[in-house]
Structure 1
Amino acid sequence: MWYTYLTIDLASIAVPFIFSFHPKLRFYRHWGALWPALFIPGLFFICWDCFFTAKGVWGFNPKYVSGVYLVNLPLEEILFFLCIPYACLFSYHSIFTLWPKLHLPHILTKLISWGLIAAGLCAAYVYSDKSYTFLTLLLMSLFVFGITILFKNQWVDRFYICYGLMLLPFLVVNGLLTGSWIQEPVVWYNAAEIAGPRLMTIPLEDIAYGLLLIGVEVALYEYFLSGKRPSLTYSALSEGR
């Protein structure tokens, strides 16, 4: 069973990587924008991961990992921050390459954003003694405020659409990692550091964590893409430019 986490990582990236070369998608042409969008925030999240692992906020079941560690993280956890974001950005690219005019109404995007900000800040305040809950929801709220209210990015509605569609595979991957359908969790959480409510076996904070992780990477991907090829950004495509 040592290969369980590695299998989850590789299965998550296999199909997106293969289809990156599909003639209708050609995602490989955007790798110049993709890699920095993955690696820059990935470094931050890996450092966060190292710190929380050292503090016992979460940890890893030795039965499901290979035993190869970098600092205090198993190799599979490091690969997680490559495989999952790659699959998500591939999905983002694919959805809006195939359906470039797909969007949410502006007012709905605003309502979603303000709802996320309000819910996140309230929960961060209520659970200020829970380190994972507090930090995740605070940073998620600040991120949503930044992209929606402060900078008014044109791609926010597309990110919400994409993340909403990705919640189903999110449930599968995170469900497996937290113990759904297998005997023990691959990743365990310290009950004293999370709010408590779970979706199946997944702490609800993970949904906000995923939104923050993928959202930052979409933001950087759009930034680097627009800097190189303004006509290929999805916000520009939607406006007919």
Structure 2
Amino acid sequence: MNYIYLLINIGVIFFPLVLSFDKKVHFFSKWKFVFPAILITGLVFLIWDLLFVKLNVWSFNPNYIVGISFFGLPLEEILFFLTVPYACIFIYECLNAYFPANNLQKYSLALSNTLLGLCIAVLFFGYSRWYTVINFGFLFITLYVVEYRNHKFRFMYKFYRAYVISLIPFYIVNGFLTAIPVVIYNSKEILNFRVGTIPFEDHFYLMSLLLMNVYLYEYFKNKAHQKEIDN
């Protein structure tokens, strides 16, 4: 039973890793952009995670982790910030390769504005809850920077499509993590509205995690492309 969270991590990354050598997507050739994005984002979210443990926002069930920890975080939780972003960026690239036509381009700004408004509303009603405040505050800042301060490359219409598809494995993986439960939430620090066993905030935690990863991934790709042009 101690290996449940570890097995979930392995399950998340197994197929994306094996399929990274697909001839059409050639995802392995993009690892030089993928891993820096994952590393930088992972460091930010690990600090966030440590803060939440200190604030008693969530904790980890010792019955479902191997017992190896770093800086107070289980090994599996650290791996989570590698396996989940890798799988999500893989989904993002697969969709772009196999389905290049994307009608969301004309609606992406409206979607972003709606989400910014949602962040403000949720912050107003959930200001006394740590997970709610930090989660939606971070999403608001990230969305604003990407949508209104990023003029060199546009990708939000591709991001939203990948996010929606990523919700499918999200409900499976997070459903297990919250139902068993592997991760135990403090009900005083969340809105306590759940989809099944999954806190409402987790949907937007995933969005923040995926958005920062994709933004940095696109940034590194664009930078390399620009360097090729200049040379």
TM-score (norm 1): 0.91
Q: Which residue of 1 aligns with 2:222?
A: 226
- Is 2:28 the counterpart of 1:3? no
* Separation in structure 2 between the aligned mates of residue 103 and residue 160 of structure 1, nearest angstrom: 11
Equivalent residues of 1:54, 1:72 under 8 A apart: no
Q: Which residue of 2 aligns with 1:237?
A: none
Superposition deviation, residue 100 in structure 1: 2.1
Paired AA for residue 197 in structure 2: T
Equivalent residues of 1:103, 1:161 under 8 A apart: no
Q: Deviations over 1:147-194 (max 9, x none)?
A: 122325410010001101111111111111001xxxx30000001111
* Separation in structure 2 between the aligned mates of residue 185 and residue 161 of structure 1, nearest angstrom: 29
Cα distance change of structure 1 residues 52 and 91 upon mapping to structure 2, 3 Å threshold = same
Paired AA for residue 178 in structure 1: T
Q: Which residue of 1 aligns with 2:132?
A: 133
Q: Which residue of 2 aligns with 1:57?
A: 57
Superposition deviation, residue 231 in structure 1: 11
Superposition deviation, residue 38 in structure 1: 0.3
Any unmatched runs of 5+ in structure 1? 233-241
Superposition deviation, residue 140 in structure 1: 0.6
The CA RMSD over aligned residues, in Å, is 1.5
* Separation in structure 2 between the aligned mates of residue 74 and residue 60 of structure 1, nearest angstrom: 8
Equivalent residues of 2:33, 2:221 under 8 A apart: yes
Q: Which residue of 1 aligns with 2:114?
A: 115
**Where do 1:86-235 residues align within 5 Å?**
86-106=86-106, 108-152=107-151, 153-179=153-179, 184-229=180-225
Equivalent residues of 1:33, 1:224 under 8 A apart: yes
How many positions carry a matched residue from both structures?
A: 227
SS at match of 2:53: helix
Paired AA for residue 34 in structure 2: L
Paired AA for residue 81 in structure 1: F
Q: Deviations over 1:112-166 (max 9, x none)?
A: 1111000111101211110100110111112112212232541001000110111
Any unmatched runs of 5+ in structure 2? none
Superposition deviation, residue 105 in structure 1: 3.7
Q: Which residue of 1 aligns with 2:13?
A: 13
* Structure (1 or 2) with the greater helix fraction: 2
**Aligned-residue identity in percent:** 36
Equivalent residues of 1:124, 1:135 under 8 A apart: no
* Separation in structure 2 between the aligned mates of residue 91 and residue 231 of structure 1, nearest angstrom: 26
TM-score (norm 2): 0.94
